[in-house]
Structure 1
Amino acid sequence: MQIRPFAIAIEDAALADLQQRLARTRRVDGVQGVGWEEGTDRDFLRRLLDYWQGSFDWRTQEAQLNTLPQFIAQAGDQTLHFVHQRGVGPAPLPLILTHGWPGSFVEMQAIIPLLADPGRHGGDPQDAFDVVVPSLPGYGFSSAPKRPGTGPFEVAGLWAELMTALGYERFGAQGGDWGAGVSTWLAWRYPERLSGLHLNFIPGSYRPPLGVGQAPVSVEEQAFLERVADWGQREGAYGQIQGTKPQSLAVGLNDSPAGLAAWISEKFHAWTDCAGSLESAVTLDELLTNISLYWFTGSIGSSFRLYLESRRRPLHFHPGERVLPPTGVARFPAELPMPPRSWVERVYNVQRWTDMQAGGHFAALEQPQALAEEIRAFFRPLRAR
């Protein structure tokens, strides 16, 4: 695997094109008074687009992102973008963090230094990590797969190859959303290499073995399954289209910055711990940096593929199968439906379970300090193993 340094440098022509497209936006009036009930709130979107066009400074955000040590790795015909921040401490533990959708490596800006250099941020240098944050294939500056067949299972193989190339034979894995699925597959496929697995989401495709020879579904577990079904009816349309006909949607979102902003910002509003006010959880600059990354790299369509690919190889387990590495779970209060511990323990080797005080689906972005402290605490007893 060939590795070279990388820095973000979006061309001026791309910035000018974005401005022109925003200026020509065909606004949708919609029905008054529905707020976020039927999708992105009309007034919020108008304000967000005005800010994107008139006040948002991509060059400032780009410079901030470029303070992170970034690299490009070539694995066959797959180009992988990643951050590699070495730890400051006596024995940093290698840790690979994986983002999800509609996030990106941008989510990890704040948490990377907290994990890599805890002594500088009120922690113990003994808890330092060598932090690796790859961009999923087809996201941001990682190239889109050229053919079908790259789902979370295969991405786990790429991550293992990347960690080997960086000199890490044994490491920890952490993730939410798609990152939880990829990290779980890492633990399943390479249990001897993982010192521990930490999740702030349980993959949506995860199903333990049920039926003959298995413990019956408990009242708490049945209530969870009913919550998932209800959530799917109310909020799951995006997953259906992205997992079945992603290219039709991708054409519009790849051509319209307003459409892209509406599609992504609605998910941030629905999935953050914001009590109806998105900016209480995520600033407009943070939101637009993430949206701009999708726009400038033209990666919204390729980011959808994980939804389709995961249907071909869902995270289902058979009787007797276990995810062996020690597992920690941080359950954030505004997260998408999360199963009870008993449901997770049917397959995962759960050794720590923490109900967090605040935060939602984008935990590293919303609550970086709390998540960093939880990750440190989980891996602390596993470092000597």
Structure 2
Amino acid sequence: MRISVLDVIFDFFSDNMWWIQIFAVLLLFRFVSWVMDKMNNGKLEIGDGWWGPGSKPHTPEDESIRPFKVETSEEEINDLHQRIDLARFTEPLEDIRFHYGFNSNYLKKVVSYWRNQFDWKKQVEILNKYPHFKTKIEGLDIHFIHVKPPKPPAGHKVKPLLMVHGWPGSFFEFYKIIPLLTDPESHGLNYNQIFEVICPSIPGYGFSEAAHKQGFDSVATARIFYKLMSRLGFQEFYIQGGDWGSLICVNMAQMLPSQVKGIHVNMCFISNGTFFILMSLLLGRWFPWLFGFRERDVQLLYPAKKIFSSLFRESGYMHIQATKPDTVGCALNNCPVGLAAYILEKFSTWTNPEYRYLEDGGLEKKYTLDDLLTNIMIYWVTSSIVPSQRFYKENLGQGIGTKKHDKMKVFVPAALAAFPCELLHCPETWARKKFKNLCSYTHMPQGGHFAAFEEPLLLAEDIQKFMGIIQKK
């Protein structure tokens, strides 16, 4: 019996139709992703804005930079203590640990320490160990700290580095990493790069004035921080951020590709290459090589159901703050104990999701109560919990990935430090969909969402590595 070539081809396709269909679908998704990438190569417009009260005045804005000092008073402390004394606690369920949120048994311990041992005046002195300043930009009083190297080594060019925090953090997150970047030699570190560090407070957070009008989002923040750097005399600079700080830095890089010489992030907002990411998440466990996944990526991403269960478990706050921030904010702004529980719960599970299995939420494994309560106090004394939550509504109120910058790429030299306990792991192949000049990608050995606060040495080392790569180019 003679078998024709056509018969062989027909039999091959019949026997392998399932794999051929998968391959065709993958090719289609690759093509669609390529087309969409090509469509989003633009530059983000800088624009302008006015976020102060009333109409923008006709007179030029005062561009002076004023020294600022964090202060407190007996009245402020007494008011806090009175409110703490009136707190009501609900008994937790048996063996509940942190599965329902902040365990109220441990909360009593934290509150007792806050009321009887925590020394806010001492912490104010610590806050003031770095120089603070304020300046008016687009109608808002912008707060920042600016730390210069005490003794820059001869022959080393000092690099300006803007570091941007997120929610529910503050500029205080960077207090441990600043000396490692500005004065490494005094801390026993042999770094080749020396920085002067600028850490602003996002408007509406801490000591930066909140916007008085709707629409103040990450793009507006990026523009204000660019104006801040320009006002400080920096025409070229480097930027670093996590959480909202990551998005703000991305917007700055999209807006100012000539001025931003490098961007380092420890959280990646994934909004490019959606088709590729979806397919890689569905099939990457079986075909990791096809999507560029490393063994560590597979460990952190699968089983995929853990991603969705984690996002469901940890994103309730986001839905509230992106829709009705003022409602829950009213309660938090009036009750310090409620504010502490609401914020500190994030420092538990966002540092390590496994900490929810512990009675104390693992809070004191990586932080001291003094450090944690200092961050809480920054929110409390400035009444900034409500405007900080509004930032979610301004950025996410119309849906995730709906803004122009969400689909735009970043072309400046970039680095991602991927900490294993971050809220969502971002493989290098995903990051390259956003950062087209990704010079450094590091699987960090440990750490979670609050990298600078939790693992300052690891983050400083990765920033140094990135700067060394840029310097060699």
TM-score per shorter chain, which class?
A: over 0.9
**Which residue number corresponds to residue 90 of structure 2?**
28
Letter paired with 2:228: L
Letter paired with 2:454: E
**Which residue number corresponds to residue 157 of structure 2?**
91
**Which residue number corresponds to residue 241 of structure 1?**
320
Q: Which residue of the other structure, out of 372, 375, 379, is the alignment partner of 1:294?
A: 379
Segment of structure 1 superposing worse, 22-31 or 62-71? 22-31
The question of 1:142 aligning with 2:208 is answered yes
**Aligned-CA RMSD value:** 2.2
Give me the whole-angstrom Cα distance separating, in 1, the residues matched to 2:382 and 2:317: 21
3-state DSSP of counterpart to 1:323: coil
Is the Cα contact below 8 Å between 2:241 and 2:266 reproduced in 1?
A: yes
| Deviation readout 1:16-65 (Å, 9 max, x if unpaired) | 10011111111222323211100101111010000000000011111011
3-state DSSP of counterpart to 1:324: coil
Q: Which residue of the other structure, out of 93, 100, 122, is the alignment partner of 1:60?
A: 122
Give me the whole-angstrom Cα distance separating, in 2, the residues matched to 1:347 and 1:126: 29
Q: CA deviation at 1:340?
A: 1.2
Q: Which residue of the other structure, out of 340, 346, 350, is the alignment partner of 1:261?
A: 340
**Which residue number corresponds to residue 100 of structure 2?**
38
**Which residue number corresponds to residue 356 of structure 1?**
444
Question: What is the number of equivalent residue pairs in this alignment?
Answer: 381
| Deviation readout 1:103-152 (Å, 9 max, x if unpaired) | 00111111111111122223346410110000111000001100011111
Cα 1:383–1:5, aligned 2, differ >3 Å: closer, same or farther?
farther
Letter paired with 1:108: F
Segment of structure 1 superposing worse, 347-356 or 163-172? 347-356
Letter paired with 1:37: H
Give me the whole-angstrom Cα distance separating, in 2, the residues matched to 1:304 and 1:31: 29
Cα 1:318–1:108, aligned 2, differ >3 Å: closer, same or farther?
closer
Q: CA deviation at 1:359?
A: 1.2
Q: Which residue of the other structure, out of 229, 251, 259, is the alignment partner of 2:330?
A: 251
Give me the whole-angstrom Cα distance separating, in 1, the residues matched to 2:415 and 2:208: 28
Is the Cα contact below 8 Å between 1:207 and 1:317 reproduced in 2?
A: no
Q: CA deviation at 1:350?
A: 1.4
Is the Cα contact below 8 Å between 2:92 and 2:103 reproduced in 1?
A: no
Identity %: 36
Give me the whole-angstrom Cα distance separating, in 1, the residues matched to 2:124 and 2:333: 21
Q: Which residue of the other structure, out of 69, 73, 84, is the alignment partner of 2:131?
A: 69
Is the Cα contact below 8 Å between 2:134 and 2:143 reproduced in 1?
A: yes
Give me the whole-angstrom Cα distance separating, in 2, the residues matched to 1:199 and 1:333: 14
Give me the whole-angstrom Cα distance separating, in 1, the residues matched to 2:162 and 2:409: 21
| Deviation readout 1:256-298 (Å, 9 max, x if unpaired) | 0110011011111111148522100111111100011111111
Give me the whole-angstrom Cα distance separating, in 2, the residues matched to 1:170 and 1:131: 14
Cα 1:341–1:94, aligned 2, differ >3 Å: closer, same or farther?
same
Cα 1:274–1:12, aligned 2, differ >3 Å: closer, same or farther?
farther
3-state DSSP of counterpart to 1:9: coil
3-state DSSP of counterpart to 1:123: coil
Give me the whole-angstrom Cα distance separating, in 2, the residues matched to 1:128 and 1:364: 17
Segment of structure 1 superposing worse, 8-17 or 228-237? 228-237
Q: Which residue of the other structure, out of 352, 371, 375, is the alignment partner of 2:459?
A: 371
Q: CA deviation at 1:232?
A: 2.4
Q: CA deviation at 1:226?
A: 5.6
Give me the whole-angstrom Cα distance separating, in 1, the residues matched to 2:341 and 2:100: 12
Is the Cα contact below 8 Å between 1:209 and 1:319 reproduced in 2?
A: no
Is the Cα contact below 8 Å between 1:174 and 1:198 reproduced in 2?
A: yes
Within a 5 Å distance, the mapping from 1:95-114 to structure 2 comes to: 95-114=161-180
**Which residue number corresponds to residue 325 of structure 1?**
412
Within a 5 Å distance, the mapping from 1:118-267 to structure 2 comes to: 118-124=184-190, 126-203=192-269, 206-211=270-275, 217-218=279-280, 219-220=283-284, 227-267=306-346
| Deviation readout 1:204-237 (Å, 9 max, x if unpaired) | xx311445xx798323379587654332222210
Is the Cα contact below 8 Å between 1:198 and 1:329 reproduced in 2?
A: yes
Q: Which residue of the other structure, out of 417, 422, 427, is the alignment partner of 1:335?
A: 422
3-state DSSP of counterpart to 1:378: helix
Cα 1:247–1:140, aligned 2, differ >3 Å: closer, same or farther?
same
Is the Cα contact below 8 Å between 2:91 and 2:105 reproduced in 1?
A: no
Q: What is the TM-score when the length of structure 1 is the normalising length?
A: 0.93
Q: CA deviation at 1:77?
A: 1.4
3-state DSSP of counterpart to 1:346: helix
The question of 1:279 aligning with 2:364 is answered yes
3-state DSSP of counterpart to 2:209: coil
Q: What is the TM-score when the length of structure 2 is the normalising length?
A: 0.76
Segment of structure 1 superposing worse, 352-361 or 51-60? 352-361
Cα 1:314–1:131, aligned 2, differ >3 Å: closer, same or farther?
farther
3-state DSSP of counterpart to 1:265: helix
Cα 1:290–1:40, aligned 2, differ >3 Å: closer, same or farther?
same
Cα 1:29–1:153, aligned 2, differ >3 Å: closer, same or farther?
same
Is the Cα contact below 8 Å between 2:222 and 2:251 reproduced in 1?
A: yes
Is the Cα contact below 8 Å between 1:93 and 1:383 reproduced in 2?
A: no
Is the Cα contact below 8 Å between 1:135 and 1:141 reproduced in 2?
A: yes
3-state DSSP of counterpart to 1:361: coil
3-state DSSP of counterpart to 1:328: strand
Segment of structure 1 superposing worse, 228-237 or 138-147? 228-237
Letter paired with 2:242: G
Q: CA deviation at 1:318?
A: 8.7
